[in-house]
Amino acid sequence: MHNFEFYNPVRIIFGKNSIKKIPNFIDKNFKILLTYGGGSIKENFIYEEVKNTLANYNIVEFGGIEPNPKYETLMKAVKIARNESIDFILAVGGGSVIDGTKFISAAIDFDGDPWDILSRHASVKSAVPFGTILTIAATGSEMNEGAVISCAKTNEKLVFKSEKVFPQFSILDPQTTFTLPKKQTVNGIVDAFIHVLEQYLTKQVNSPLQDKQAEAVLKTIIEESPKVLENPKNYEARANIMWCATNALNRTLGVGVVQDWSTHMIAHELTALFKLDHARALSLILPSLLRIQKEEKADKLYLYGKEIWNLKGTKNTVIKEAINKTEEFFRNMDVKTRISEYDIPQKELQIIPALFKERGIKLGENKDIDAEKIAKILENAY
């Protein structure tokens, strides 16, 4: 196992009706900026419950944070927060609202142009404290310090990380996810599953605990997904999926092991260019990437095939079948795994390897996925 440091200060408040507990965690005198997305919280019980629970607080609202939150939208919130002297932000939504709120919280006090936080990884020295109410089990943003922000002007999707943007608390009430459209439930399942694989399907470093934790999350997702898809109001299954998604990316699975993240990096470009949902872009890249990297990842793919898909046979057969099973798992939930299934002309994909070449970035746990390999991954994924 490699050396590591682990720090995660996020208080998780999990369970039925936990929104009612928020006043225990926000100072009564704080002026709150309430951030949310396109309005789903007004179609279920969430908005009303939040407003009732916080009836005695001074609240300013900022709705309209879109999926794949845009820098341009978020800067409007920054302006409001500055003018209103906001003390605390409450993000109510999924990964997009939470990520957007992380950026808002970092940008409010930022000395300089907040764009630098994204474009140049400028260090964030302070951030306005915030909490979250999660409404979709997917990204793990509710318990980590990362955010992914899109820029409409440059067509980029950029990642930033800072310890200053850990949420102070996250409310996880599985009932909030009952109203998710099937497509979004599935997106969350696929995203969480791939988060685990990005940290698990790399190389052996003698980390049996992390391996078994990763396998536990994967197995639980596989067992619980059909239950939520069959009955979206199955509380127990929603609760299990929600806790899986949080654990998939609260960084515990990644400690001391070698991580990949190349599927995410390539998929972010697909989303930026062709407006695909985050998870729908990941599912196009992962199978192709695993097939191309199967020798580098052989030991872990073999372990994955045996432990997760109960495969038997030679190492090569198990690896081949394990990748097929992964693709089948996605396809069984109506998730596409070929780029050509979308209206995306193959020649337009060329821009992606060119971008990575220009940035001088190589991806993967061995930093061996260069522009040429990215082109091959995209070609095979088509």
Distance (Å, rounded) from C-alpha 373 to C-alpha 378?
9
Please tell me whether residue 179 binds ligand NZQ under the rule CB under 6 A.
Answer: yes
Please tell me whether residue 93 binds ligand NZQ under the rule CB under 6 A.
Answer: yes
Residue 380, both tokens = 């095979």
Nearest partner of 10 among 25, 21, 20, judged by Cα: 25
Site residues for ligand NZQ, window 343-382 (CB under 6 A)? none
Q: C-beta of 20: minimal distance to Zn ion in Å? A: 30
> CA triplet 69, 72, 77: central angle to 5 degrees?
85
Distance (Å, rounded) from C-alpha 128 to C-alpha 104?
8
Please tell me whether residue 174 binds ligand NZQ under the rule CB under 6 A.
Answer: no
Which partner in Zn ion, ligand NZQ, none is near 297 (CB below 5 to 8 A by kind)?
A: none
Please tell me whether residue 191 binds Zn ion under the rule CB under 5 A.
Answer: yes
Stretch that binds Zn ion, among 162-170, 185-193, 338-346, 367-375 (CB under 5 A): 185-193
**Helix (H) or strand (E) run with residue 171 in it:** strand 169-172
Please tell me whether residue 167 binds ligand NZQ under the rule CB under 6 A.
Answer: no
The DSSP secondary structure of 54-77, one letter per residue, reads TTTSEEEEE--PPSS-BHHHHHHH
Closer to ligand NZQ at the Cβ: 290 or 318?
A: 290
Closer to Zn ion at the Cβ: 191 or 211?
A: 191
Binding residue for ligand NZQ (CB under 6 A) from 35, 101, 135, 210?
A: 135
**Cα torsion angle, 50, 51, 55, 57, sign:** positive
Phi, psi (5° rounding) for residue 42? -90, -15
Binding residue for ligand NZQ (CB under 6 A) from 96, 210, 246, 326?
A: 96
Q: Name the pairing type of β-strands 146-151 and 156-161.
A: antiparallel
Closer to Zn ion at the Cβ: 191 or 224?
A: 191
Do you know the residue count of the chain? 382
End-to-end Cα separation, the chain, in angstroms: 37
Please tell me whether residue 280 binds ligand NZQ under the rule CB under 6 A.
Answer: no
Report yes or no: 171 and 18 within 8 Å, Cβ to Cβ: yes
Q: C-beta of 347: minimal distance to ligand NZQ in Å? A: 25
Mark residues 30-69: x for contact with ligand NZQ by CB under 6 A, - for none. Answer: -------xxxxx--x----------------------xx-
List residues near ligand NZQ by CB under 6 A. 37-41, 44, 67-68, 93-97, 99, 135-136, 138-141, 144, 146-148, 176-177, 179-180, 184, 187-188, 191, 249, 264, 278
